[in-house]
C-alpha cells in the first residue's frame, strides 16, 4: 500500500431531470458523467431530486445515463431520493381538494414511490439477490487499505397542507435512525471513513431576515438534530446533501456539511471529496473545463 493512496468521490445533486425529452439537461449530464469517468473517481454520489416530476419512468432516464457510462454498479454509484423524486405536488393538491385531508394516503404515496425508486436503483442499493432494498442504506466499500462507508437515509417528509405545504420539508424517521445506531451497524462501520447522506439541508439560508425565516420553514429539515445525533454516534466525518440549491461547504453543530448545489442550475459544477489512507480529507468544487 502506498502511504499516499487516496479515494475520490464525486458529488452531484438536484439534477431535476424532466424525462427523456429533457435533451439539454441530458446532454449536460452526459458531459458531466464523461468527465467523472475520465478523471477516474472511485465513486459517485447523487443526493436526491434526481428527477423533477416524481414520475418513476423518469428515473429510468437517469439509470440509463449511469449505465451508459459504466456507473450503474453498487461499487460505483450511490443515490438517494429527494422530495421531487417522491412527492408530486399537483397530485397532492388534487387529492387534498377532492377528499378530506387523508394522512394515510399521503404517507402511502411516498412509501410506494420510495419502493419504486428502490426497485429501479436496486443494483446501487444491494447486490444480495434475496435482500430487501431500501433505506436507510449502509454501504461499506473497500479501496485497498481505505474502507469507505456511506450511510444514507430518505429524508422526504410526506406532503401535508398544514405541516409540509410545499412538500419540501425534511424528516428522518425515528425508526430509520434507531436502525442506524444499533450496534451491528456501529460495529460494521468500525475502521471506515463514514459519510452521511441525506437530501435535506441542515442549513437553509441562515440569516435573520424575516423573508428568509419564512422560507426556512417550508424547506426545513424538521428533526435535523436527531439526524446529526445519529451521524455522530456513527462517527460520520462529513454529511453530503442537496435540496437547497446552493454549492456550499460549512460546519454546523460540530459536523462538516457539503451541499452539492444543483446540477440543473449549475451543470458545470460538481463536488469532489478526496480521502487519504490516514483519514484526512479535502473537499473542493470543480468546474468542467
Ligand atoms: Fe432540488
Ligand atoms: Fe429537494
CATH number of the domain within which 115 lies = 3.60.21.10
SS3 letters for 24-88? Answer: HHHHHHHHHHHHHHHCCCCEEEEECCCECCCCHHHHHHHHHHHHHCCCCCCCCEEEECCHHHHCC
**Ligand in nearest proximity to the CA of 12:** 1
Q: pLDDT tens digits, residue range 12-42?
A: 999 999 999 999 999 999 999 999 999 999 9
In this structure, is residue 113 part of a structural domain?
yes
Indicate whether 1 pLDDT > 50: no
Query: Which three three-digit cell numbers place residue 225?
Result: 438534530
pLDDT in tens, 169-220: 999 999 999 999 999 999 999 999 999 999 999 887 655 565 655 567 888 9
Residue 102 pLDDT greater than 70, yes or no: no
- Asked if residues 27 and 62 have their Cβ atoms less than 8 Å apart, the reply is no
pLDDT at 172: 97
pLDDT, position 64: 98
Ligand 1 centroid distance, CA of 191 (Å): 33
Structure confidence at residue 207 (pLDDT): 56
Q: Which ligand is nearest to the CA of 261?
A: 1
CA of 3 to the centre of ligand 2 (A): 39
Does pLDDT of 97 surpass 70?
no
Query: Across-strand partners of 78?
Result: 45
Parent domain of 216: 6-287
Longest alpha-carbon distance in the chain = 64
Q: How far is the CA of 186 from the centre of ligand 1 (A)?
A: 31
Residue (of 62, 6, 67) closest to 39 by Cα position: 6
Query: Structurally, how many domains does the chain consist of?
Result: 1
Q: Where are the alpha helices (DSSP H) in the chain?
A: 23-38, 56-68, 83-86, 89-98, 103-120, 122-125, 174-181, 183-188, 210-219, 224-233
Distance of CA 136 to the CA centre of its chain: 11
Q: How far is the CA of 153 from the centre of ligand 2 (A)?
A: 14
Q: Please check whether residue 175 lies inside any domain of the structure.
A: yes
Distance 50 CA to ligand 1 centre (A): 8
Q: Ligand 1 center to residue 217 CA distance, Å?
A: 16
**Higher per-residue pLDDT: 62 or 161:** 62
State the distance from the centre of ligand 1 to the C-alpha of 200, rounded, in angstroms: 9
Q: Within a domain: residue 1?
A: no
Record the pTM. 0.94
Cα-to-centroid distance, 142 and ligand 1 (Å): 31
CA of 202 to the centre of ligand 1 (A): 14
Query: Which residue, chain included where needed, has cell 425508486?
Result: 117
Question: How sure is the predictor about 91, in pLDDT bands with cuts at 50, 70 and 90?
Answer: confident
Q: How far is the CA of 49 from the centre of ligand 2 (A)?
A: 5
Whole-number Å distance, alpha carbon 78 to ligand 1 midpoint, is 17
Quick check: is 249 in a domain?
Answer: yes
DSSP, collapsed to helix, strand or coil, labels residue 187 as helix
204 falls within a domain: yes
Amino acid at each position: 500500500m502506498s502511504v499516499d493512496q487516496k479515494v475520490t468521490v464525486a458529488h452531484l445533486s438536484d439534477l431535476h431531470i424532466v424525462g427523456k425529452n429533457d435533451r439539454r439537461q441530458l446532454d449536460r449530464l452526459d458531459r458531466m458523467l464523461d468527465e467523472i469517468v475520465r478523471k477516474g473517481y472511485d465513486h459517485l454520489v447523487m443526493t436526491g431530486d434526481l428527477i423533477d416530476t416524481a414520475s418513476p419512468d423518469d428515473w429510468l432516464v437517469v439509470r440509463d445515463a449511469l449505465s451508459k457510462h459504466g456507473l450503474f454498479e453498487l461499487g460505483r454509484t450511490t443515490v438517494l431520493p429527494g422530495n421531487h423524486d417522491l412527492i408530486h405536488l399537483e397530485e397532492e393538491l388534487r387529492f387534498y381538494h377532492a377528499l378530506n385531508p387523508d394522512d394515510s394516503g399521503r404517507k402511502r404515496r411516498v412509501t410506494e414511490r420510495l419502493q419504486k425508486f428502490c426497485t429501479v436503483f436496486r443494483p446501487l442499493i444491494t447486490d444480495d439477490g434475496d435482500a430487501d432494498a431500501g433505506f436507510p442504506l449502509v454501504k461499506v466499500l473497500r479501496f485497498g487499505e481505505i474502507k469507505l462507508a456511506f450511510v444514507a437515509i430518505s429524508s422526504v417528509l410526506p406532503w401535508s397542507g398544514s405541516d409540509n405545504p410545499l412538500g419540501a420539508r425534511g424528516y428522518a424517521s425515528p425508526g430509520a435512525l434507531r436502525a442506524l445506531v444499533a450496534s451491528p451497524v456501529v460495529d460494521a462501520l468500525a475502521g471506515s471513513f463514514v459519510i452521511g447522506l441525506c437530501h435535506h439541508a441542515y442549513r437553509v439560508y441562515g440569516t435573520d431576515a424575516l423573508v428568509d425565516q419564512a422560507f426556512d420553514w417550508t424547506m426545513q429539515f424538521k428533526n435535523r438534530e436527531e439526524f446529526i445525533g445519529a451521524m455522530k454516534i456513527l462517527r460520520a466525518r462529513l454529511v453530503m446533501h442537496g435540496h437547497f440549491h446552493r454549492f456550499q461547504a460549512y460546519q454546523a453543530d460540530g459536523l462538516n456539511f457539503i451541499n452539492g448545489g444543483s446540477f440543473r442550475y449549475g451543470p458545470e459544477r460538481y463536488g469532489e471529496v478526496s480521502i487519504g489512507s490516514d483519514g484526512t480529507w479535502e473537499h473542493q468544487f470543480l468546474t468542467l473545463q
